[in-house]
Structure 1
Amino acid sequence: MGIPFHSIDNQSFRQLVEAIGQFGPGYKHPSQYLLREPLLKQEVERTKFSLKKHEEEWMENGCSIMTDARTDRKKRSIMNICINCKLGTSFLGSIEESMEAHTGVYIFEFVEKYIIEIGPQHIVQVVTDNATKNMAAVDLLKVTQPQIFWTSCATHTINLMLEATGKLLKFSGILEKAKALTIFIYAHHRTLAIMWKYTKKSDIVRPGVTRFATSFLTLESLKDKKDQLRLMFTSDEWRKTKLRSSVKGKSAEATVTSISFWNGVSLALNVFTLLVKVLRLVDGDKKPSMAFLLGALKQAKEDIKKSFKKQENAIPILKIIDEKSKGRLDSPLHYVAYLLNPFFYFKDSSISNDTNVMNEFLNCVEIIFATDEEMQSTIANDELLKYNSKSENFGRKMAVAAYEKVDVYHDFDPVGWWSNYGGDTPNLQKMAMRFRSLTSSSSGCERNWIQFEEIHTKKRNRLETSRLNDLVYVKFNANLVKKRE
């Protein structure tokens, strides 16, 4: 009832018309007041009820809180907050912060309000981007909620890796030439018409969610249309244009006919594709990604080495990955999730000998069970040893086959594996189940801005913040429930 009419999809629109039709010709539509106040509040309550399964999942296996801020069409600074569990990301609420300084204290107080509302015992982590103001709230959280971790957004971090890699000398020239080529083609209707003729109306510019994603997708598109572009710049149509003799025209033709340019495009894609693969893993909502992040990143580093004939040429890229990961993708949660994923742990013996992994596991146990030394000892000195040695159910043939017969890491279900075979180590099993169900990014919270933009249009830009919050709550969460069903 509170969803803006123009944002209803076709199926919902048909259902709405059918429902109205059932009342017959005498039906009187509700007043604007009823739609904006009591009926909207009823819809908010109904939506809350539909999220009961999500609440049950929070209580069973824990959840993550995510927050993000943005300026809306009225130049109001709005911070929103979402909650993620294995069933998906749901919207909790938002606050207008135009009159407040964006300090770590302010962000901390906003987040802690929802932590207390949900219950600190159900929350494993808070995920934000890497902005300084967000990081400033970490120390405050450690004081009041020491058992809750504050984690950097993996999507944001990997985007930083890609951008820094794109600035390396061996890649920056290729990206600049590709950019100049596409700008030249799209800047002139004649060149665009010729390109469309040879690509059969297919474009070479493919927009992405970030500036680098757009550059990467455009490189992919250029490579796919390499032969068509070469035909274009050797065609009679091109020879007859005055643009061919211009400085930019000569540069575009030289780029397309250059063997070294296309070799550079292939090399760039070989490297970028490996990191983009990890980006897509952590940026998606299909399954929790914390269990796979470090293993996927390690595999990407190994494959990057193999993409160069001389492995020393990969060193600058690997250095960027390590530098961007430091302080962002090396929290106790990341290492414990890596350690307790049998797909990686039992296929790579070096993990058990990695000092960082083991130290962070012990740190994590001490943080979670800070007041229970007996539990700390049970997990570290008994249950972890059983897992490490594959004793009891961990050593069953079917348990081993579950991860050995899977070639691709994201096809493996670590939560199901621990549910089936972790019964002999109940405390470690509970830890694994909670950490396996975690997201590693705040992307779901960022995607929620789409709902804000659909509702807060130019025609509806006088919406009060509270009503905007309720409308977004209904629309975003209704889509989640519909997707789940």
Structure 2
Amino acid sequence: MIWVQEIFYEAKGLIDYFYRSVIVLQLMRQFTDRDLKYPCKIRFASNFLMLQSIVEVEEKLRLLVASAEWRGLRNSRSFEASRVLNTIQRESFWIESKEILMFMEPIVRVFRFVDGDGLTSGYLYEAMERARRVLEQLKETDNRYEQILKIFDKRRDENSLSQIHYAAAILNIAYYCGPRFKKNLKFKEATEFIGDTLVPQAERGDFYEQLASYQMKSSLIFSSSAMIMMEKCRPPNHVVLQPVREIEVLEMLHKQKKRNRLSAEILVDLVYVRMKSLMMEKKATLEQKNMLPINLDNISVYYDDENVEDIDREIVG
């Protein structure tokens, strides 16, 4: 994808020039009233976030390079400054930048979605299908997106979706009963995989009988109360934890008269109890979060703690 690589290269050139000089940086901040995002190879979707931060201040950057303050800079006529000026004033740069953001945004939404806390397996297939639908629409009007679509399909099939995700998707009642659901042969293969692999032999008859009722949307399952609950919550996963060690440690601490006499072993146990307490608090928060249905339309593309990301390199390369 040479055209994508060229746009990212030009965008990075803008960032490099603005942040190379304190005077230029201050002038840029004066006009845009914000900082731009610097690309980082070890951060998630950094090229996307960098380009997004530039496009958001397009008009302000145009005013910047057309201002008397810009022309008054000492190096305003240097080769680097002229290249920045040409990039910002070139209409094709902004058009292609917005096209890149358009096709990358649904992909970044998927990554942002699965990288957060909480249960997401029942929604991953639908999120991937939404992203693919955007790429298909772009491919219909521009053949340049055919290669991007092939990369997306390859990564989806080899790295993202498994039989478990297909099975979880069909068991997600909100998606299964929604207008976006479309039958797929992989759903059948996934449910057979679950039945043959994860369900004990003695229980398979009951499993497939219940599955048939579910797929036929039996009124015994899809009752009016069940449909209401579907919109309000989703079933959580419960993990029972036995706080035996915590009780023992607290009893030992209660017997200690002076804190500075705590043994090293008890201090280790005290740290354990504190960390376990924090983990339990987070677990309770996640359980409450997991009770709520996920609205894929509200997944943000903004990210503060990105993970290592390589799809930019694959598209650019």
Same fold, judged at TM 0.5 (above):
yes
Q: 1:291 to 1:476 in 2, by over 3 A?
A: farther
| Aligned AA (1:267) | E
| Aligned AA (1:172) | Q
Q: Which runs of 5+ in 2 are unaligned?
A: 240-267, 286-317
Sequence identity percentage? 25
- Which of the two has greater helix per residue? 2
2:173 aligned residue: 342
| Aligned AA (1:394) | I
Q: 1:373 to 1:344 in 2, by over 3 A?
A: same
1:82-109 Cα offsets, whole Å, 9 max, x none, are xxxxxxxxxxxxxxxxxxxxxxxxxxxx
User: How do 1:18-57 and structure 2 match up within 5 A?
Assistant: none
1:414 aligned residue: 234
1:260 aligned residue: 92
1:229 aligned residue: 61
CA contact (8 A) 1:304 1:314 kept: yes
Partner of 2:52, secondary structure, is helix
Aligned counterparts of 1:313 and 1:359: Cα–Cα separation in 2: 33
Give the one of 294, 297, 304 matched to 2:128: 297
1:361 aligned residue: 191
Q: 1:414 to 1:319 in 2, by over 3 A?
A: farther
User: How do 1:365-404 and structure 2 match up within 5 A?
Assistant: 365-369=195-199, 372-380=200-208, 382-400=209-227
Deviation at 1:299, TM superposition (A): 1.1
Deviation at 1:471, TM superposition (A): 9.7
CA contact (8 A) 2:139 2:146 kept: no
User: How do 1:166-315 and structure 2 match up within 5 A?
Assistant: 168-200=1-33, 202-205=34-37, 210-285=42-117, 287-307=118-138, 310=141, 312-315=143-146
Aligned counterparts of 1:205 and 1:292: Cα–Cα separation in 2: 30
1:480 aligns with 2:279: yes
User: How do 1:18-167 and structure 2 match up within 5 A?
Assistant: none
Q: 1:350 to 1:296 in 2, by over 3 A?
A: closer
CA contact (8 A) 2:175 2:181 kept: no
CA contact (8 A) 2:15 2:38 kept: no
CA contact (8 A) 1:351 1:357 kept: no
Aligned counterparts of 1:477 and 1:308: Cα–Cα separation in 2: 50
Aligned counterparts of 2:126 and 2:148: Cα–Cα separation in 1: 18
Q: 1:172 to 1:470 in 2, by over 3 A?
A: farther
1:58-87 Cα offsets, whole Å, 9 max, x none, are xxxxxxxxxxxxxxxxxxxxxxxxxxxxxx
- Which of the two has greater strand per residue? 1
Give the one of 146, 151, 165 matched to 1:320: 151
| Aligned AA (2:31) | Y
Aligned counterparts of 2:81 and 2:88: Cα–Cα separation in 1: 11
Q: 1:274 to 1:473 in 2, by over 3 A?
A: farther
Q: 1:471 to 1:192 in 2, by over 3 A?
A: farther
Q: How many residues align?
A: 257
Deviation at 1:255, TM superposition (A): 0.8
Larger relative contact order (CA 8 Å, sep ≥ 6): 2
Aligned counterparts of 1:473 and 1:326: Cα–Cα separation in 2: 41
Q: 1:312 to 1:226 in 2, by over 3 A?
A: same
1:165 aligned residue: none
Aligned counterparts of 2:180 and 2:67: Cα–Cα separation in 1: 58
Deviation at 1:256, TM superposition (A): 0.9
1:103-136 Cα offsets, whole Å, 9 max, x none, are xxxxxxxxxxxxxxxxxxxxxxxxxxxxxxxxxx
1:329-351 Cα offsets, whole Å, 9 max, x none, are 33221111111111222236865
Q: Normalized against structure 1, the TM-score is what?
A: 0.48
CA contact (8 A) 1:204 1:222 kept: yes
Deviation at 1:188, TM superposition (A): 1.2
Q: Normalized against structure 2, the TM-score is what?
A: 0.71
Q: How big is the alpha-carbon RMSD for the aligned residues of Structure 1 and Structure 2?
A: 3.0
CA contact (8 A) 2:65 2:85 kept: yes
Q: 1:250 to 1:209 in 2, by over 3 A?
A: closer
Q: 1:209 to 1:328 in 2, by over 3 A?
A: same
CA contact (8 A) 1:274 1:303 kept: yes
